[in-house]
Amino acid sequence: MPKEQAQQPATEKSKEVKIIAKQVFTLSDIEKNPRALKLLYVINNVGSISEKALQYLLYYMRESGVDFKYAFTTIGGVPSSRELLNEILSLKYVGLIESLPNRKIVLTGLGKEFLASHLNALSEEEKNLLNKALEDVKPKIVPIDAEVDIKLKRQSRR
């Protein structure tokens, strides 16, 4: 057979992959979540707080009568809530809070604007109740936050 046979071009079948980016959480999801608004209010009033201290804070607030409805598990006297950590992650995702280099979380500029514009969703009674509980529980949280700072300093020395 001659080498000049007509070869048919090989037709390759390919599948086209479409990547669609979709946000998991949006600001409108946070607007509809009163628990997230209360959490933003607490973080704003505390200033900066570590995630560990925030878990203790909400756990102690629950004991003093202000319940955010997070399910806490205590292991060795240390309260932990997966729901709370997921809520914090969602607030970071939409840019309302951020982690500082010292591992403390604070409201961003967007978070402060968001909270100011949605503060009317919280009644004055809720705000007063949250403020009173914060005053009562905050002294218990200061040593926990200091412990996080000390551990961070130890790690940075190594």
127 domain-assigned: yes
The amino acid at 141: I
96 domain-assigned: yes
57: its two tokens: 């804070």
Residue 114: give the domain boundaries: 27-156
17 domain-assigned: no
22 domain-assigned: no
Report DSSP state, residue 79.
Answer: E
11 domain-assigned: no
CA distance 84 to 72: 9
Give the length of the chain.
158
Q: Pick from 37, 35, 57, 36: which is nearest to 46 by CA?
A: 57
> Which region, left, alpha or beta, applies to residue 84 given φ > 0 means left and ψ of -120 to 50 means alpha?
alpha
2 domain-assigned: no
Task: Provide block-wise average pLDDT over 10 residues at a time, the chain (158 residues).
Answer: 55 74 75 90 92 92 87 90 92 92 90 91 89 90 84 74
CA distance 65 to 60: 9
pLDDT of residue 21: 64
Judge whether 98 and 44 are in contact, CB under 8 Å: no
Q: How many domains does the chain have?
A: 1
Helix (H) or strand (E) holding 155: helix 124-157
111 domain-assigned: yes
CATH number (domain holding residue 145): 1.10.10
Report DSSP state, residue 25.
Answer: S
pLDDT of residue 5: 55
pLDDT of residue 7: 59
Judge whether 42 and 130 are in contact, CB under 8 Å: yes
3-class SS of residue 154: helix
Judge whether 42 and 122 are in contact, CB under 8 Å: no
3-class SS of residue 97: strand
4 domain-assigned: no
pTM assigned to the model? 0.78
